[in-house]
């Protein structure tokens, strides 16, 4: 086992194969339904593609993690428990869960199945993580992207649970698992239905003022000719505030912690997660290849680790707004 695993997104079978071929230690994926938090048309796996993906990954010594990280309701409980049963039958290496009731079901029904705590569980303290470990046998926890490096180190030092952190990809202005913006606009909660800005509510319309994007009729952004029209999410829209139009909530930018890799390694982070199941296989290939090379270099010599300029150039090509940030990991005022 490597000292720190590279966990890469697989929104489709081609993306899964691309991730594995470019050096992913693990891939994470979901079924084609609301049991996962990337429930978009054209993404995810049916039974046949899931079986092929697991076969392909296992043949190349990579592990497959299944995201069952949305919250079931009273009327659809059987769908989520059925997904747990199917995961166990398919030979999934671990399931990534957010709902404690579903954790309890998995532990009781399939005690051999490895359980990970999803970022959707919003566990930001070692006390919370230890609670899930004590009651449900959680073996790994994915930390929300709101903690500083010092806080990550404190969590790792105070829990027996493996810690996974996000290393690259889109940011969320909310604490994961607590977003209500999309539900406010559409009436559908991403935490229960698996999609922030569900496709059926999204509209692009060319107008005399430019390309307009709307979410359930709400104007999210307007783009000039030639300007790339992003997917309309409320948190990353441009709005008119006191006569100015700007990204009032969050600017489109990607988390990129490449320069922090030796620090994360020394802190005891067990896995680096790449965000982007909704992104293309080409994105997966570029990001996986860069992070594989960087992790291998850091493992060989963390003290003399240097970020290759070519790596940053590749990552900048696929960053939102072609910009990147260290996010909450780096807080210069502290």
Give residue 131's pLDDT.
98
> For the residues 17-27, what does the mean pLDDT come to?
98
Q: Which domain holds residue 21?
A: 5-171+253-329
Band of pLDDT at residue 157, cut at 50, 70 and 90: very high
89-108 per-position pLDDT tens digit: 999 999 999 999 999 999 99
- Indicate if the pLDDT at residue 2 is higher than 60: no
Domain-located, residue 50: yes
Domain-located, residue 177: no
Whether residue 283 is found in the same domain as residue 224: no
Domain-located, residue 210: yes
The token duo for 276 is 């982007």
> For the residues 252-269, what does the mean pLDDT come to?
92
Q: CA–CA distance from 305 to each of 17, 222, 296 (Å)?
A: 29, 42, 10
318-333 per-position pLDDT tens digit: 887 666 788 888 766 5
Average pLDDT, the chain: 92
Whether residue 265 is found in the same domain as residue 231: no
Whether residue 113 is found in the same domain as residue 57: yes
Return the percentage of the chain with pLDDT > 70, whole number. Answer: 96
275: domain CATH number is 3.20.20.380
Give alpha helix (H) positions in the chain.
13-21, 47-59, 77-90, 100-109, 126-136, 149-157, 181-186, 190-193, 261-267, 281-300, 309-317
Domain ends where: 247, 268, 297? 247
Whether residue 138 is found in the same domain as residue 74: yes
Domain-located, residue 279: yes
110-156 per-position pLDDT tens digit: 999 999 999 999 999 999 999 999 999 999 999 998 899 999 999 99
CB 66 within 8 A of CB 226: no
Instruction: Report the C-alpha gap between 254 and 327 in whole angstroms.
Output: 9
Whether residue 306 is found in the same domain as residue 324: yes
Whether residue 242 is found in the same domain as residue 290: no
The token duo for 35 is 């049991």
Name the more confident of 62 and 183: 62
Whether residue 137 is found in the same domain as residue 60: yes
Domain-located, residue 180: no
Least confident of 163-177, 210-224, 253-267: 163-177
> For the residues 213-224, what does the mean pLDDT come to?
92
Give residue 54's pLDDT.
98
Domain-located, residue 181: no
pTM above 0.85, yes or no: yes
User: Assign residue 169 a region: left if phi > 0, alpha if psi is -120 to 50, beta otherwise?
Assistant: left
Residue length of the chain: 334
Nearest to 217 by CA among 205, 203, 197: 203
Domain-located, residue 179: no
Whether residue 69 is found in the same domain as residue 105: yes
Give 186-200 as a DSSP string: HS--HHHHS-SS-GG
Whether residue 163 is found in the same domain as residue 46: yes
Whether residue 155 is found in the same domain as residue 238: no
Whether residue 150 is found in the same domain as residue 281: yes
Give residue 282's pLDDT.
96
Domain-located, residue 317: yes
> For the residues 264-279, what does the mean pLDDT come to?
95
> For the residues 63-67, what does the mean pLDDT come to?
98
Whether residue 150 is found in the same domain as residue 271: yes
Nearest to 290 by CA among 22, 29, 60: 22
Q: State the total domains in the chain.
A: 2
DSSP 3-state assignment of 4? coil
User: Assign residue 100 a region: left if phi > 0, alpha if psi is -120 to 50, beta otherwise?
Assistant: alpha
Band of pLDDT at residue 1, cut at 50, 70 and 90: very low
Instruction: Report the C-alpha gap between 315 and 69 in whole angstroms.
Output: 27
Instruction: Report the C-alpha gap between 117 and 105 in whole angstroms.
Output: 14
CB 112 within 8 A of CB 134: no
């Amino acid at each position: 086992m490597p000292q720190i695993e590279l966990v890469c997104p697989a929104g489709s079978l081609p993306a899964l194969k691309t991730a594995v071929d470019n050096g992913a230690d693990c891939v994470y994926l979901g079924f084609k339904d609301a049991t996962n938090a990337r429930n978009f048309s054209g993404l995810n796996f049916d039974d046949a593609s899931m079986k092929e993906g697991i076969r392909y990954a296992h043949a190349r010594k990579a592990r497959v993690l299944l995201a069952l990280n949305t919250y079931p309701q009273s009327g659809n409980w059987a769908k989520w428990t059925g997904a747990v049963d199917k995961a166990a039958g398919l030979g999934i290496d671990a399931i990534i869960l957010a709902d404690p009731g579903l954790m309890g079901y998995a532990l009781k029904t399939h005690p051999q199945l490895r359980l990970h705590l999803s970022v959707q569980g919003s566990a930001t303290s070692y006390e919370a993580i230890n609670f899930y470990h004590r009651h449900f046998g959680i073996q790994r926890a994915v930390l929300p992207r709101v903690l500083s490096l010092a806080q990550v180190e404190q969590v790792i030092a105070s829990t027996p649970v493996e810690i996974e952190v996000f290393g690259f990809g889109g940011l969320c202005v909310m604490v994961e698992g607590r977003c209500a913006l999309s539900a406010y606009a559409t009436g559908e909660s991403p935490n229960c239905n698996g999609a922030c800005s569900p496709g059926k509510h999204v509209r692009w319309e060319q107008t005399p003022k430019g390309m307009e994007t709307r979410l359930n009729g709400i104007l999210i952004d307007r783009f000039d000719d030639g300007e790339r029209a992003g997917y309309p999410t409320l948190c990353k829209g441009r709005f008119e505030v006191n006569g100015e139009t700007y990204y009032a909530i969050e600017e489109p930018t990607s988390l990129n912690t490449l320069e922090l890799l030796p620090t994360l390694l020394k802190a005891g982070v067990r896995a680096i997660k790449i965000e982007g199941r909704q992104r293309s296989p080409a994105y997966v290939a570029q990001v996986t290849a860069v992070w594989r090379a960087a992790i291998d270099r850091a493992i060989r010599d963390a003290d003399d680790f240097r970020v290759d300029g070519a790596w940053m150039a590749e990552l900048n090509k696929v960053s939102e707004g072609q910009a990147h940030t260290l996010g909450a990991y780096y807080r210069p005022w502290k």
